[in-house]
Structure 1
Amino acid sequence: MRRRTPEVVVYTRQGCHLCTDAIATVRRVCAELGVAMHTVDIDTDPDLQARYTTLVPVTVIDGREHDHWRVDEERLRAALGRRPAR
């Protein structure tokens, strides 16, 4: 049985320096592992803004919150279940 490829979402907002750092890390890791990722600006949705206002960036993997504020690359790789090719 083939394992489904995970999807990663990073919830962000404009002017957030932690968001910039998190997006760069997530984008690089996802590109290496062939995992889909996208970003969502929480300020475009009142419900997301209320939920995540002080937590951004928030990294979500397959609908489950994974990290807030900073992304630990090794923890992200472990959650995605794969290591980079060496």
Structure 2
Amino acid sequence: MRAGEPRVTLVGRPGCHLCDEAKLVIERVTRELGESWEERSIDDNDELRAKYADQIPVTLVDGQRHDFWRVDEARLRAALQSPRR
């Protein structure tokens, strides 16, 4: 992972209620810790769709899968407080 890239990536799709819930947690935690994040849709990327279609929302931290279906706020916070992988 290169410096300047978002530490957290939310992989989901529009209209996914679990994705909306995950987004709220990610927004809150990254804002509090001063970290950046991005959202990517499996509808726009064949590779992401093939890899994660049955697991969305998927949360990646430093490019590695961290959680899927639900975001555990304490676990995400702990991962972001550790050095970049």
TM-score using structure 2 length: 0.86
Would you say 1:62 and 2:62 are equivalent positions? yes
**Percent identity among equivalent residues?**
47
2:50 partner amino acid: A
Report which of the two structures shows the higher radius of gyration computed on alpha carbons: 1
Instruction: Say which SS state the counterpart of residue 9 (structure 2) adopts.
Output: strand
Cα shift at 1:75: 0.5
For 1:21 and 1:54, locate their aligned partners in 2 and report how far apart those are by CA, in whole Å: 17
Q: CA deviation at 1:31?
A: 0.4
Q: Please list, as runs of the form range in 1=range in 2, the aligned pairs for 1:5-44 lying within 5 A after superposition.
A: 7-44=7-44
Structure 1 residues without counterparts, runs of 5 or longer? none
* Distance apart, 1:51 and its partner CA: 0.8
Output the TM-score relative to the length of structure 1: 0.85
Give me the CA root mean square deviation.
Answer: 1.6
Regions of 4+ moved over 6 Å: none
